[in-house]
Copies of this chain bind each other. A is one copy, B any other.
């Protein structure tokens, strides 16, 4: 079972060390908004770059950037204005809003209430005599409310606009421009990373459900008569853990373990492109430090799926804070969206086959949530290490994912040590590393500070540096220290961030200052 203690401890560290904290804190936080500090921004950006490396750069996929505020016509055509809604109720006494299904679930334990429709929800709310959980007041009749943020475009005489709840619609409305820039070849894909907003009725659990967050999406367009993925072989031996629709139906939560190839052969994943992205996705999440056994793909039941989808898998990660949580959706969106925009705009979205027939492309979408991945990476990396003196927080981020890769610290600031350390720091920056200079407090306190933000390598400049050019390198994970000559530093840093064992970097030195 999830424990809230882990989440509470982590959010305390996050606030203090600058990973993230509640937004508008000085005015009282509004639920669903988070602010990233220096450490958090860097961690998040590194994860985003890793995603682009796995999902975009190697494949040569297109990228776009579409606005956050959209014309209402986009979401009218896409079906969002009709479907992106929840049953909500407000307290007649204090005015607070709540999701009706959540209130019922909390009281009765019944799940997937949304699929049962509005009448069931109204009935269950009344039957269970549910009151406002904050003030105990009577609740109003639940109504369907739109959970997109609405605004007016134009300060005077404008039109209604909405903030996008997904980036995907940008890929559909801009499909023709991108298809032409790709010289009308298919299959091809468009990717987008960016902010999206969902006007949740009453968000809970902090980073787990935000109103404003960042997603990283790909829409892969293909011919349903030629659904082959030419790169499938690159991931076919990748092992994944799968909970199929059938297993989900039977509430069997012990995942199948099989390769991507087997998942395709057994028709558990119906489209090669979807299987390909699931394989890539598993590798990507592994690269964030999250092992295979803490990942699984869970099929959506038909009643859970979005209005556009024919098969969807959630990519789930096991957390100590919340148990299994969704970090991505892998959906087959069919030709639903392009057809909808063809109808809405009157613009032809069909493309030409070599045999002269026309078709509307089908779409496979992997969609990753960057904020949850950032939190999960942090949680996975976290260790509370007991020493005789303290409980030390250490974040074991993969070396290249860490917010800062290297800290540089003079033993003391006198006798030219600070200047020497600053020179070394400058040359490390010039080589492109993310580095931090730290000259405050005892060396031991500085090591502890770097452990707490997950900096893998510390370089200490002391009197032997001045005399003999010898530096001390200190490893975050083992707390071991080795000696290195300053001339060898560039080569050793290169080797270290390529992954060599820390102990291979030089002779062990007496550990001091922990």
Please give the residue numbers on chain A whose beta carbons come within 8 Å of chain B beta carbons, in ascending order.
Answer: 15-18, 21, 23-27, 30, 32-38, 40-42, 44, 57-58, 60, 62-71, 73-74, 77, 86, 88-91, 95-97, 143, 145-147, 149-159, 161, 163, 170, 173-174, 176-178, 180-181, 183, 195, 197, 199-202, 211-212, 341, 344-345, 347, 429, 434, 436-437, 440
For residue A437, which residue of chain B has the nearest CB?
A: B60
Q: How far is the CB of A402 from chain B (nearest CB, A)?
A: 15
> Are B58 and A36 closer than 8 Å at their CB atoms?
no
Q: How far is the CB of A483 from chain B (nearest CB, A)?
A: 26
> Are B157 and A95 closer than 8 Å at their CB atoms?
yes
Give chain A's interface secondary structure class: mixed
For residue A436, which residue of chain B has the nearest CB?
A: B60
For residue A197, which residue of chain B has the nearest CB?
A: B69
Given contacts A21-B177, A153-B211, A344-B27, contact A429 B57 (CB under 8 A): yes
**Which B residues are in CB contact (< 8 Å) with A90?**
156-157
Interface centre among A44, A91, A97 (most CB of B within 10 A): A97
Q: How far is the CB of A341 from chain B (nearest CB, A)?
A: 7
Q: How far is the CB of A163 from chain B (nearest CB, A)?
A: 7
Number of copies: 2
> Are B63 and A38 closer than 8 Å at their CB atoms?
yes
Given contacts A18-B177, A37-B181, A434-B57, contact A153 B63 (CB under 8 A): no
Name 25 A/B residue pairs within 8 A (Cβ), A-sorted: A18-B181, A23-B71, A24-B173, A26-B173, A26-B347, A27-B73, A27-B173, A27-B344, A27-B345, A30-B71, A30-B159, A30-B161, A35-B64, A35-B66, A37-B64, A38-B63, A42-B63, A67-B212, A69-B211, A88-B155, A95-B157, A145-B156, A154-B200, A156-B201, A158-B199
For residue A430, which residue of chain B has the nearest CB?
A: B58
Bound Cα distance A34, B17 (Å): 37
Known contacts A18-B177, A38-B178; 16 additional CB pairs below 8 A are A16-B181, A18-B181, A26-B345, A27-B344, A34-B67, A37-B174, A37-B178, A57-B429, A60-B437, A69-B211, A97-B157, A153-B211, A154-B199, A154-B201, A156-B201, A158-B199
